Structure 1
Amino acid sequence: MIGCFYILDFSYDVEEGKPVIYIWAIDKEGNRVAVLEKNFRPYFYAILDDSADTNKVAEDIKRLSVSQSPITSVKLEERKYYGNPVKVLRIETVIPAYVRTYRDKVAKVRGVKEVVEADIRFYMRYSIDNDLKPFNWFKAEVEEIQDSKLRVKKVYELKKIIQIYEDKPPELRIMAFDIEVYNKYGSPNPRRDPVIIIGVWTNNGGKQFVMKDDDLEIIREFAKFVLDYDPDIILGYNSNGFDWPYLLERVNSRGIKLDIGRKVNSEPSQGTYGHYSVVGRLNVDLLGFASSIAEVKVKSLDNIADYLGVVKKTERVNLEWYQIPEYWSDPSKRDILLKYNMDDVRSTYLLKDVFLPFGEQLTMITGLPLDQLSMASVGYRVEWLLMREAYKFNEIIPNRVEREYESYKGGLVISPAPGIHEGVYVLDFSSMYPSIMIKYNIGPDTLVKGECEDCWVAPEVGHKFRKSPDGFYKRILQKLVEERKAVKSKIPTEKDEYERRRLDERQRALKVMANAFYGYMGWLGARWYSKEGAEAVTAWGREIISSVAKLVEERGFKVIYGDTDSVFIKGSGNVDSLVNEIMNKFGLEIKIDKIYKKIFFTENKKRYAGITEDGKIDIVGFEAVRGDWCDLAKDLQRRVIEKILTSGVDEAVKLVRDVIMKIRRKEVPIQDLVIWKSLDKSLEEYEVDAPHVNAAKKAMKAGYVIFKGGKIGYVIVKGSGKISERAEPYFMVNDINRIDIDYYIDKQIVPSAMRILEQFGIKESTLKNTSFDILNFFKK
């Protein structure tokens, strides 16, 4: 029979001594199904020395065969390695795990130069070879079979793939969950501390499982709910870091499995990039996506949901982790804790509308399943795309190797003209680095280290890249750029709102992937690493920005700042004409990205703030200067910037003086004075007693939960001794009179404001002297 299937995920098992690949999918009728591939076998390659006797090497490799997983095939093939033709032996076996065993043995065979492609996960190898990607449809010839071990409507054995295509996706079942733990005795211990609440949220709303006598009962109820609802996607927030490992150890310590997969007797297991895999379902930890939001420093669920406008902090219950035991133990407060859990799980569920559409498009481009993609770095996402394209281009996939750090010169930064400027245009090169890589055919396979008669030569560094044929990077980047143009052209005329959103997410994902290629090329962990390529890209980038700046000045404009792929200019000439001239001269797309009504720069690079024509305020660089500032100091800096741009410097000074007066009158909440720091190591590993380390030790001594990788919030209190000795966990300080007011004024408020105001000649004494006549100051 012929069937059409929408792919969710892949997995594999070894059954009766042979590997079986499971394609977890949905058919056209909306049934959850499994399509089984039983004929694909693991393989890898041996690159041969130029002088090797192919037949002898092949026979030597065959003699390595063992009965548990025999070598079933050794075939000679012609492939390309970094663009150069090579002879390889394709070595096939039966059991995927034996590839690593054979890899080490084959590497020692005389005549073998290198063993490659032995570290690619088996089911991903299958998906690459057959160009199958999650969130795509494929049509295939299949035979329906029975398999009582699988929790799906139908099971098929795959006979032949007929067609791969895109179509409107089916309605997916999505579930979010969140657990609360009773951890009265310090760091939560799953062998001791029970799970007291498990909240879930689906399109039907919320549901909670609340412990009565034994938490094993609610964990079983939760598992039954998962099996009954049968979600395609399970959402969590830091679920890979806490919820899943806690639940698993909690039940396993009592000899029970958390059986929630689409295969009977399967429980979540930790896989690549630290994610937990649930067989047949996509377990997506949204913290992986949230980690890319640089504007939010403390990436807690409530902060992310608030920042994205999903659930405002003012619209939900907000509790601190240390309050959970108190609210659980007190019957009068328990309902508040239950509401807190529901607000958390509802926030997680609603975040799907922000993160999943973009994540789905990245999955469709890279082929990396969504649960892995959410936790994978940008470098790994690019690499999976490259690996898929390498197979199409008959290119061998290089091994990943350890490399020592190598620095190289980055993009050009033109020093800013300090002060306030009006009528400033930002000219931005669209995807400058990918464009340079395409124009100059840059990549590890096009690099020429000797003499070359027909090469592009990078300025300053002198690296040479052949002009033809097109290299590996260029071909893929061109595909991404061309597809993005085609997708963008469809958006204005698309009338269906869903399709318009999908197209916009698609073009954004294509742009992000293309822009990541330069960074990937210079990433030490990259399979296709090229320091020379990365150096050449930035060298050409510097030359272009320098030339553009010179042209701008020649046309009567003034360059007040430049950074990597953009220049900030002001003047009374025709900017549109200037943009066209730049594009024609350099062959790169450039546009007017922003027009600032007013903008100011400090003497420091990458630090400025401006207000656009439509009233939007951009702040770049300031908010990330210090990691040990309290919220009040950070917020004040932002407000000072806004005042300068909207009302002037004198109003900004008044604002700072007002805040200082409020602190002196103790009219600020302690919460605004909390300083947050990460605990990157275990407390015993710290050699220096920094403030946050001392605060964490005091919290632990008092019985609170502190663990590596978490954050500690502290305040500085009055007393003698060093500041680090006077750091107290904020939740242990309830009286504002204990706070060291002078510390916050001298070390937090004034420095945060002075980083801005010193550019305008303001002195610290001006801010601290609240009786000072600010208007007279500006008259002098």
Structure 2
Amino acid sequence: MKIRFFLLDIDYITEKKGLKIRLWGKTADGKNVVVFVQSNPYFFVFPKDIKKAQKDIEEILKGKNISVKGIEKIEKKLNGELKEFLKITCFLPQHTQKIRDFIKVLEKNRGGTGSIIEEYEYSINFYRRFLMDKRIDGNCWLEIEGEKLNTNYKVDLALNAKKIKVLEDISIPELKILAFDIETSEIAGEKQIVMASFYGKAFKKVITDQKSDYPDWVEVVKDEKELLQKIVKTFNEYLPDIIVTYYGDSFDFQVLMDRCQSNKVKLIVSRDKTETKFTRRARISSARLNGIVHLDIFNFISNILSPSLQTEVLSLDAVSSELLGDKKIEVDYQEMLEAWRKGKNLSKLAEYCLKDAELTYRLAEILLPQNFEITKTVGQILFDVSRMTYGQLVEWYLSRKASEKNEIIPNQPKYEQVLKRRKITYIGGFVKEPLPGIHEKIAILDFRSLYPSLIVSFNISPETLNCDCCEENGHKVAGLNYWFCQRKEGFIPSVIKELIEKRSQIKKKLKETEKTSLEYKVLYNRQYALKIIANATYGYFGFAGSKWYSKECAESCSALGRYWIKKTIEEAENKGFEVIYADTDSLFLKTKDGDIKQATEAFLDYINEKFPGMLELDLQGYYETGIFIPRGAAPGTAKKRYALIDKKGELLIRGLETVRRDWCNLAKEVQRKVLEFVLRDKDIEMAKQYVKEVVENIKQKQILLKDLIIYEELTKPIETYKQIGPHVMAAKKLRERGMEVGEGMLIMFIITKGQGSISQRAEPVEFVSLKEIDSDYYIYHQILPAALRVLQVLGVSEKDLVS
């Protein structure tokens, strides 16, 4: 039989009959499918003497009592040149590493015969290799021809595949998405789950074990064990395609797993009816549900989306506020504990819990299409891609393209190599310090994908560096003794060129496509996926753990970037512009006389004619007024410190406290208001008066405690911190009170009055009242520095703001 289905997940199983890949997905008419495919893992050996190497390998394996499925001679490109390799096909995924370790002794530098030079691709994940080999575009539509099977899985159809075809189809079937969230409380010295909430399309549910007068969507059970059983039952009855959490890898599923084990409840959610397991993904362990995708939105936001967000606080509340224009229901921790212990206000607690699941669901609705397009670009599945950093996305994209172009994928560097690389430095991008003060009628220009354009234009790739054929006439790097080949296109430039050209074609198509259509949304997300991968490639050259690491390539990109921004500044000044500020790939211009728009358009036409290759300068926007703060004008080290206001009165702020997480909300609000007084109203006196009022309110404690909370993330386990900052101290105090604290957790604390350093006086917000705050700390370390960051440039001093 033949079926079409949308791939959602992939894994593999080992049976008596051999190794099988499992493809899980959904048909257009809503049927859940699993497809079994026979496949075998393999790796490559680069021999010095191919016949001797094969003979030596066979001899070693005889003595080790391990067999291989086959050894064959093939041709692959290594550093752009076609070479002979041995392809060793194994029976099990774990055998690739094992056999590689056995035969490594044949290398000359290990005292062997020298018949082997190196082994490659032995550590590539088996199912990820399968996706690359079959040219499967991540979560995409597949056509399967095969035989129908019987299984006890929670699916409508199972097939043994004979043929697999990747289809061109931009649609996504209607998927059952279920958001999940839990609330916990300390009971009898243990963290227990007291509420669980679910939210899906036309579905909402809260389960709790404490009686009260609840709405009809709340189900009351007798104890925590029954609550856990009901959670498992809800998952299995709803049978979602995707389970969405916010911080679920590190909290919700971790706690759920622990409590299930303590209560002897089996956490069986997967479609193959096996218990939930945790698999390592980057720095975290992730809850893996076979056949059901667990999407932890926090990971994607933290790794990929955060640079484009205004907020640096990545809590569900802050992210929902920015992306959805909606917030959590306000309930502080003390109120929550009290509600639970005294059995009061439990209905509000249920609404609070459900709201978290609702916000998580709505975030998934807007972020899933983006995620799916990234999976199609990288060629891997949602579970993995949603947890990848920029560097990992680039690595898997390059690996996919290497497989397509018959290139050998370089090995992961050893730990010692990584440590050595981390010590190597080079000069970064050029920054022209801003002209301090207020400026009017500003144009911002930036290079369109500066580093990707330079990589393509100058053919920057490890194998094209300092080639023998182009020493005299290669692509020279200004200020460095490097050149890149003019004759043969490098692997990485060829890949990035495809990305840039694809994105350019999509952007043209977007202009002709109806904005409300499905096609527009898909194309927009696709060009975004192409953009983030192309822009991250330069950083990947210099990343110590990179498979395609090249300090020379990273340094060359940086040097060429500096050369062309300086050249552009020089040309702009020659054309009568005043360059207020420049940073890496952008320039801030104003004209000494004449119309800024007219002058800018003429300059763009002129300068783009002069640029080589794909290098191009774009208009980012026009702004009515802006304030620029030079480094050293006030405390702090951020290189980008400015605020601009456009014709609509909207603020664009960079590098100031309003967009940083380590300042309380009141300090951020003060700075934003000061910027509005200065840029919108052009009234410095009003700004000063406003700051004085806030200072007085703090002294009189006429403020809200929540506006004084400082947020800081624990980026590693508490024990590993050598410097004990306020957030680490607050985290320790939380743990001493029996609360679970771990890496990645956002710590919320208040600085209280009393003896000792600021760190010693940092207290978790849950245990502080307004009367305990250190007013002087908030005035002199938060409010005044935030205000003076703007006002000091305009001649205002601390004395002017404190009576």
Deviates most, 632-641 or 678-687? 678-687
Q: What's the counterpart of residue 293 of structure 1? A: 306
Alignment of 1:608-687 (within 5 A): 608-623=642-657, 628-648=662-682, 649-680=684-715
Question: For 1:385 and 1:410, how far apart are their aligned partners in 2?
Answer: 25
Please say if residues 717 and 739 of structure 1, whose CA atoms lie closer than 8 Å, have aligned partners that are also in contact.
yes
Q: What's the counterpart of residue 2 of structure 2? A: 2
Q: 1:584 aligns with which of 582, 591, 609?
A: 609
Please say if residues 228 and 265 of structure 2, whose CA atoms lie closer than 8 Å, have aligned partners that are also in contact.
no
| 1:155 is aligned to 2:151 | no
* TM-aligned CA distance change 1:165 to 1:726, over 3 Å: closer
Q: What's the counterpart of residue 370 of structure 1? A: 382
| 1:739 is aligned to 2:773 | yes
Q: What's the counterpart of residue 252 of structure 2? A: 243
- Listed one character per residue, the Cα deviations across residues 154-190 of structure 1 (whole Å, up to 9, x for unaligned) are 111111224532242211111110112222467xxxx
| 1:60 is aligned to 2:72 | no
Please say if residues 146 and 162 of structure 2, whose CA atoms lie closer than 8 Å, have aligned partners that are also in contact.
yes
Please say if residues 73 and 93 of structure 1, whose CA atoms lie closer than 8 Å, have aligned partners that are also in contact.
yes
Q: What's the counterpart of residue 176 of structure 1? A: 179
* TM-aligned CA distance change 1:661 to 1:194, over 3 Å: closer
* TM-aligned CA distance change 1:218 to 1:719, over 3 Å: closer
Deviates most, 710-719 or 433-442? 710-719
* TM-aligned CA distance change 1:514 to 1:709, over 3 Å: closer
SS in 2 for 1:351: helix
* TM-aligned CA distance change 1:344 to 1:14, over 3 Å: same
* TM-aligned CA distance change 1:362 to 1:695, over 3 Å: closer
- Deviation for aligned residue 1:146: 1.7
Question: For 2:34 and 2:342, how far apart are their aligned partners in 1?
Answer: 48
Question: For 1:365 and 1:701, how far apart are their aligned partners in 2?
Answer: 46
Q: 1:417 aligns with which of 387, 412, 435?
A: 435
Q: What's the counterpart of residue 476 of structure 2? A: 457
Q: What's the counterpart of residue 203 of structure 1? A: 201
* TM-aligned CA distance change 1:583 to 1:16, over 3 Å: same
Question: For 1:428 and 1:138, how far apart are their aligned partners in 2?
Answer: 41
Question: For 1:385 and 1:48, how far apart are their aligned partners in 2?
Answer: 27
Please say if residues 75 and 83 of structure 2, whose CA atoms lie closer than 8 Å, have aligned partners that are also in contact.
yes
- Deviation for aligned residue 1:491: 1.7
Counterpart residue identity of residue 654, structure 1: Q
* TM-aligned CA distance change 1:184 to 1:766, over 3 Å: farther
* TM-aligned CA distance change 1:659 to 1:28, over 3 Å: closer
Deviates most, 636-645 or 230-239? 636-645
| 1:473 is aligned to 2:472 | no
- Deviation for aligned residue 1:6: 1.6
Please say if residues 128 and 391 of structure 1, whose CA atoms lie closer than 8 Å, have aligned partners that are also in contact.
yes
Question: For 1:764 and 1:193, how far apart are their aligned partners in 2?
Answer: 47
Question: For 1:139 and 1:701, how far apart are their aligned partners in 2?
Answer: 56
Q: CA RMSD in A?
A: 2.2
- Deviation for aligned residue 1:10: 0.8
SS in 2 for 1:284: strand
Q: What's the counterpart of residue 503 of structure 1? A: 523
How many positions carry a matched residue from both structures? Answer: 755
* TM-aligned CA distance change 1:656 to 1:379, over 3 Å: same
Counterpart residue identity of residue 58, structure 2: K
Deviates most, 211-220 or 461-470? 211-220
Q: What's the counterpart of residue 269 of structure 1? A: 278
Q: 2:105 aligns with which of 104, 108, 111?
A: 108
- Deviation for aligned residue 1:689: 5.6
Q: What's the counterpart of residue 232 of structure 1? A: 241
Q: 1:408 aligns with which of 423, 426, 431?
A: 426
Alignment of 1:366-445 (within 5 A): 366-401=378-413, 402=415, 403=418, 404=420, 405=422, 406-445=424-463
SS in 1 for 2:620: strand
- Deviation for aligned residue 1:705: 5.0
Q: What's the counterpart of residue 67 of structure 2? A: 70
Q: What's the counterpart of residue 214 of structure 2? A: none
Question: For 1:693 and 1:272, how far apart are their aligned partners in 2?
Answer: 25
Counterpart residue identity of residue 91, structure 2: V
- Deviation for aligned residue 1:656: 1.0
Question: For 1:55 and 1:699, how far apart are their aligned partners in 2?
Answer: 64
SS in 2 for 1:768: coil
- Deviation for aligned residue 1:701: 4.6
Question: For 1:647 and 1:134, how far apart are their aligned partners in 2?
Answer: 51
Please say if residues 186 and 738 of structure 2, whose CA atoms lie closer than 8 Å, have aligned partners that are also in contact.
no
SS in 1 for 2:663: coil
- Deviation for aligned residue 1:719: 3.6
SS in 1 for 2:621: strand
Q: What's the counterpart of residue 45 of structure 2? A: 46
SS in 2 for 1:296: coil
* TM-aligned CA distance change 1:680 to 1:477, over 3 Å: closer
- Listed one character per residue, the Cα deviations across residues 68-117 of structure 1 (whole Å, up to 9, x for unaligned) are 86212111111111212322110011111111110111211231111110
- Deviation for aligned residue 1:331: 2.2
Please say if residues 657 and 663 of structure 2, whose CA atoms lie closer than 8 Å, have aligned partners that are also in contact.
no
* TM-aligned CA distance change 1:752 to 1:614, over 3 Å: same
- Deviation for aligned residue 1:254: 4.5
- Listed one character per residue, the Cα deviations across residues 386-429 of structure 1 (whole Å, up to 9, x for unaligned) are 11110111100011103221211111111211111111111111
User: Identity of counterpart residues, as a percentage?
Assistant: 33
* TM-aligned CA distance change 1:3 to 1:435, over 3 Å: same
- Listed one character per residue, the Cα deviations across residues 547-571 of structure 1 (whole Å, up to 9, x for unaligned) are 1111111111111111111111111
| 1:259 is aligned to 2:268 | yes
Please say if residues 681 and 708 of structure 1, whose CA atoms lie closer than 8 Å, have aligned partners that are also in contact.
yes
- Deviation for aligned residue 1:379: 0.6
Q: What's the counterpart of residue 281 of structure 1? A: 292
SS in 1 for 2:429: coil
Q: What's the counterpart of residue 626 of structure 2? A: 599
Question: For 1:541 and 1:694, how far apart are their aligned partners in 2?
Answer: 42
* TM-aligned CA distance change 1:308 to 1:123, over 3 Å: same
| 1:544 is aligned to 2:578 | no
Question: For 1:502 and 1:154, how far apart are their aligned partners in 2?
Answer: 29
| 1:27 is aligned to 2:27 | yes
Question: For 2:192 and 2:398, how far apart are their aligned partners in 1?
Answer: 45
Q: What's the counterpart of residue 776 of structure 1? A: none
Q: What's the counterpart of residue 554 of structure 2? A: 534
Please say if residues 312 and 660 of structure 2, whose CA atoms lie closer than 8 Å, have aligned partners that are also in contact.
no
Question: For 1:688 and 1:523, how far apart are their aligned partners in 2?
Answer: 26
- Listed one character per residue, the Cα deviations across residues 755-780 of structure 1 (whole Å, up to 9, x for unaligned) are 221111111111112xxxxxxxxxxx
Question: For 1:328 and 1:700, how far apart are their aligned partners in 2?
Answer: 20
Question: For 1:689 and 1:275, how far apart are their aligned partners in 2?
Answer: 28
SS in 1 for 2:167: strand
Q: What's the counterpart of residue 556 of structure 1? A: 576
Deviates most, 163-172 or 555-564? 163-172
Alignment of 1:739-758 (within 5 A): 739-758=773-792
Q: What's the counterpart of residue 765 of structure 1? A: 799
Q: What's the counterpart of residue 715 of structure 1? A: 750
Please say if residues 225 and 263 of structure 2, whose CA atoms lie closer than 8 Å, have aligned partners that are also in contact.
no
**Alignment gaps of 5+ in structure 2:** 107-112, 210-220, 632-638
Question: For 1:224 and 1:702, how far apart are their aligned partners in 2?
Answer: 33
- Deviation for aligned residue 1:488: 1.4
- Listed one character per residue, the Cα deviations across residues 581-602 of structure 1 (whole Å, up to 9, x for unaligned) are 1111014222211111111111
Question: For 2:577 and 2:719, how far apart are their aligned partners in 1?
Answer: 58
- Deviation for aligned residue 1:703: 4.8
Q: What's the counterpart of residue 309 of structure 1? A: 324
Counterpart residue identity of residue 596, structure 1: Y
Q: What's the counterpart of residue 96 of structure 1? A: 93
